[in-house]
């Protein structure tokens, strides 16, 4: 099938490359000429393990192309995906659908023959209805169906998630669109990937509900971690004890500094706004959003307390800046709240992250960025672990202790065992370890 992706960011590029790997002919379109030129030359705009090889392989095979010219790319496509950004709108927390609606207008002008237009972007309930209306208004004669096909890709494992999904959710309003989407995903469906067809509005809500539920699990275990610290319990053992219950599950029960990234913060905000708009407030999610924001600042206070309550003139060595390992994504990362709070309290911050430092610099301009983990630790009054990259899991602790001015370690990801660290002479503080 001929497939067009409008938007060559995280979702569009990964999805397009994976569809091409299945044998479809895919064109990725973007208005950013520099990004498209880079992609043509094998330069990835994001860090995602395995993506550069996947793109190169399919470009070489002639199944994947990149362009800024939307018209010809849309004209011959059986399915056109809208995979543009939907950031939180300033002021009210709603998803900003400006780019989605503009893409719909441009698609309407270019379609030729029956085409399925697919919302791949994360959008609120009813967006597909509006996309259909815009297309009809722009081009009354267009033979178009509008579908919803939300993505469930985890950054750092996106290719595996696309090719071996838990489920593929497709919201359609007619059989023709269903037939096209079944054919598009046929390579996965033969591998018994669960293809779930729903109404369009239901598919849109599934995405928000899923992300809000996972964000709730994270926030729940973070609050349990606080209780564990006061009660002398261990949150990791609590998480294991409840996670082995099949009704609960073990994923997203890792205590830490709060969730971030491109999805959970904006999607919880958007779901909160949607609930209010429909007169059905989702109070649990409202509280999740509030607690998560407060937690990030509380972690800065925790670091301050570990250094005696005064950060004036002190240096904090930070390992990890991205919101999670195996990505360079800095969107809503806890580091963006924690580090400025440390600086405001008088600390100097040295930091190292394997992939995200270039993305971090515009947001954290006063940080001293270094070339490796030990350089961040050297001469620091405390070591703080903010992102659990694999290379931070087996540091030479003898060397770490010799490099630090004082043996203070604040491990916000529970990478190390408290008992082992204390035995080695560190003043160690994890999360939820009483």
At 94 the pLDDT is: 82
CB atoms within 10 A of CB 341: 18
Return the pLDDT at 188.
83
Cβ atoms 28, 65 nearer than 8 A: yes
Is-contact 115 79, C-beta < 8 A? Answer: yes
Q: Under CATH, which architecture does the 2-198 domain have?
A: 3-Layer(aba) Sandwich (3.40)
Considering the candidates 18, 28, 228, 263, report the single residue annotated as catalytic: 263
Residue 297: how many other CB atoms lie within 10 Å = 16
This model's pTM is above 0.95: no
Q: 86: annotated binding-site residue? A: yes
Element (H, E) at 354: none
Give CA–CA dist 429/186, Å, rounded. Answer: 50
Domain boundaries, the chain: 2-198, 211-429
Give the DSSP H or E segment for 21. helix 10-21
**Spatial separation of the C-alpha atoms in residues 33 and 229, rounded to whole Å:** 51
Cβ–Cβ under 8 Å, residues 387 and 336 = no
| Alpha-carbon torsion angle 391, 223, 217, 201, nearest 10 | -120
Does 183 belong to an annotated binding site?
no
* Long-range own/partner contacts, residues 230-235 (CB < 8 A, 24 or more apart): 230/434, 231/434, 232/434, 233/432, 233/434, 234/432, 234/433, 234/434, 235/414, 235/431, 235/432, 235/433
122 is in an annotated binding site: yes
- Residue 152 marked as a ligand binder: yes
Residue 5 · residue 16 · CB < 8 Å: yes
Q: What is the pLDDT of residues 252-294, one digit of tens each?
A: 999 999 999 988 999 999 999 999 999 999 999 999 999 999 9
Q: Contact, 118 vs 148, CB < 8 A?
A: yes
Is domain 211-429 classified as CATH 3.40.109.10?
Answer: no
> Is residue 383 marked as binding?
no
Q: Is 251 annotated as a binding residue?
A: no
- The answer to whether 254 is annotated as binding is yes
Residue 266 in contact with residue 212, Cβ under 8 Å? no
**Residues in the chain where the model's pLDDT stays below 70:** 190-193
Strand-pair category, 195-198 with 315-319? unpaired
| 154 is known to lie in a ligand binding site | yes
Fold: same for 2-198 and 211-429: yes
Is position 276 annotated in a ligand binding site? no
Annotated catalytic residue 228 = no
Rounded Cα–Cα distance for residues 338 and 258 (Å): 11
């Amino acid at each position: 099938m001929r497939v067009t992706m409008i938007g060559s960011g995280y979702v569009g590029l990964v999805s397009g490359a994976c569809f091409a790997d299945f044998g479809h002919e895919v064109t990725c379109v973007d208005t950013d000429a520099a990004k498209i030129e880079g992609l043509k030359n094998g330069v990835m705009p994001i860090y995602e393990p395995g993506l550069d090889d996947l793109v190169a392989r399919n470009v070489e095979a002639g199944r994947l192309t990149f362009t800024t010219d939307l018209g010809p790319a849309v004209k011959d496509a059986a399915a056109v995906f809208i995979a543009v950004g939907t950031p939180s709108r300033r002021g009210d927390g709603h998803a900003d659908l400006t780019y989605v609606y503009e893409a719909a207008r441009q698609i309407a002008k270019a379609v030729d023959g029956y085409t399925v237009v697919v919302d791949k972007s994360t959008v609120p309930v009813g967006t597909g209805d509006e996309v259909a209306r815009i297309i009809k208004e722009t081009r009354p004669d267009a033979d178009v169906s509008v579908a919803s096909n939300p993505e469930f890709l985890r950054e750092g494992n996106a290719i595996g998630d696309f090719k071996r999904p838990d489920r593929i959710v497709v919201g359609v309003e007619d059989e023709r669109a269903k037939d096209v989407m079944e054919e598009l995903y046929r390579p996965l469906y033969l591998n018994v990937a669960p293809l779930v067809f729903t109404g369009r509005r239901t598919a849109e809500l599934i995405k928000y509900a899923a992300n809000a539920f996972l964000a709730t699990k994270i926030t729940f275990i973070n609050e349990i971690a606080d209780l564990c610290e006061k009660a002398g319990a261990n949150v990791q053992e609590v998480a294991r004890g409840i996670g082995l219950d099949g009704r609960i599950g073990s994923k997203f029960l890792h205590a830490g500094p709060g969730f971030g990234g491109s999805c959970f913060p904006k999607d919880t905000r958007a779901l909160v706004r949607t609930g209010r708009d429909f007169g059905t407030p989702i109070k649990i999610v409202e509280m999740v959003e509030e607690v998560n924001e407060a937690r990030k600042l509380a972690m800065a206070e925790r670091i301050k307390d570990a250094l005696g309550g005064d950060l004036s003139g002190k240096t904090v060595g930070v390992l990890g800046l991205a919101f999670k390992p195996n990505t360079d994504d800095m969107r809503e990362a806890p580091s963006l709240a924690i580090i400025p709070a440390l600086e405001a309290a008088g600390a100097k911050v040295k930091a190292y992250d394997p992939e995200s430092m270039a993305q971090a610099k515009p947001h954290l301009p006063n940080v001293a960025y270094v070339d490796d983990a030990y350089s961040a630790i050297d001469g620091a009054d405390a070591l703080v672990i903010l992102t659990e990259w694999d290379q931070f899991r087996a540091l030479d602790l003898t060397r770490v202790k010799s490099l630090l001015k004082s043996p203070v370690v604040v491990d916000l990801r529970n990478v190390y065992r408290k008992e082992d660290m204390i035995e080695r002479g560190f003043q160690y503080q994890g999360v939820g370890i009483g």
